[in-house]
């Protein structure tokens, strides 16, 4: 499928701010299952943009606005083609769980086996993961079992958490949003030595288009494979991948700091429109 994507983030400040330094992670990734046909990033007040590729191969744009300004607008426009055929059969058993520690020789995945800002590997997490896996002996089957557990254990509830909510708080209240579902599944996978990374992106549904979060697990010999615990499924053609990291802290769409008032209002507009292919 082909998508036109608009993502606009607007900050309105109660008083002018200055010395604003920002990083933006809004350029979709080019992968075997996704092609970036075009991408344009605009900032207001106008600023010179630079970019670099980070350790996880994300494209990060950065800019600074030293002069006083009362608002900040960051807008990305992209056309992305998503390709079919990326899903793995649910009954596949490609790699024994007992050998999963061998994954470290396949790809740089050490970071995706460790605790991170919003993910922990406490003994309680490990115990919960073992109970959810039950008798599964294959890595892919175990990862799917953990996804089913998260989907059944947590209730999706809008505005029940915020972007800085830790997975232990999500487990305590048993509700959250897509970001929280992803963080919990990351912790469960890593607790049993399955390399797992956070994915930020977009999801288009019949009702709406929105930013979304899911995870990917590393299967030796097959690479990274996606799992969406919010919907208990594998990502398909309606998913657009932006960035990957240890957790949300690594992939926030817009992050930075400035000098001035802390009173501000945030507006975010996301729109995915399917493009008719002639």
Q: pLDDT value at position 29?
A: 96
CA–CA separation, 56 and 245 (whole Å): 7
In the block, tokens 């083609």 appear at: 81
Chain centre distance of CA 9: 17
Task: Please write the tens of the pLDDT for every residue from 54-68.
Answer: 999 999 999 999 999
The pLDDT assigned to 83 comes to 87
209-252, pLDDT tens digit by residue? 889 999 999 999 899 999 999 999 999 999 999 999 999 999 99
Q: Is the pLDDT of residue 89 over 80?
A: yes
Average pLDDT over residues 3-22: 97
Write down the pLDDT at residue 103.
87
Q: Tell me whether strands 175-176 and 155-156 are parallel, antiparallel or unpaired.
A: parallel
The predicted pLDDT at position 23 comes to 97
The pLDDT score that the predictor gives to residue 278 is 57
Q: What is the pLDDT of residue 104?
A: 84
Phi-psi region of 214 (alpha: psi -120 to 50; beta: other; left: phi over 0): beta
Q: What is the pLDDT of residue 207?
A: 64
Q: What is the pLDDT of residues 149-173, one digit of tens each?
A: 999 999 999 989 998 999 999 999 9
- Of the listed ranges 61-65, 102-106, 191-195, the least confidently predicted one is 102-106
Cis amide bond preceding 45, omega within 30 = yes
């Amino acid at each position: 499928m082909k998508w036109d994507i608009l993502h606009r983030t607007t900050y309105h400040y109660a008083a002018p701010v200055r010395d604003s330094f920002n990083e933006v992670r809004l350029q979709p990734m080019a992968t075997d299952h996704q092609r970036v046909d075009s991408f344009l990033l605009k900032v207001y007040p106008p600023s010179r943009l630079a970019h670099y590729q980070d350790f996880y191969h994300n494209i990060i744009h950065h800019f600074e606005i030293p002069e006083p300004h009362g608002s900040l607008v960051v807008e990305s426009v992209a056309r992305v083609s998503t390709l079919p055929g990326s899903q793995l059969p649910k009954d596949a058993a490609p790699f024994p769980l007992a050998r999963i520690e061998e994954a470290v020789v396949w790809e740089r995945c050490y970071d995706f086996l460790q605790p991170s800002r919003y993910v922990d590997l406490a003994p309680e997490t490990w115990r919960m993961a073992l109970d959810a896996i039950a008798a599964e002996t294959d890595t892919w089957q175990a990862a799917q079992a953990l996804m089913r557990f998260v989907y059944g254990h947590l209730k999706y509830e809008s505005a029940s958490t915020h972007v800085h909510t830790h997975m232990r708080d999500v487990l305590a209240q048993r509700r959250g949003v897509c970001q929280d579902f992803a963080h919990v599944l990351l912790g469960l996978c890593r607790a049993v030595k399955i390399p797992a990374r956070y994915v930020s992106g977009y999801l288009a549904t019949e009702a709406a288009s929105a930013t979304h979060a899911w995870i990917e697990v590393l299967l030796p010999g097959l690479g990274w494979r996606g799992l969406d615990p919010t919907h208990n499924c594998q990502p398909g053609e309606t998913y657009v991948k932006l960035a990957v990291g240890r957790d949300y802290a690594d992939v926030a769409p817009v992050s930075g700091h400035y000098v001035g008032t802390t009173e501000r209002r945030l507006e975010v507009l996301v729109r995915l429109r399917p493009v008719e292919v002639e």
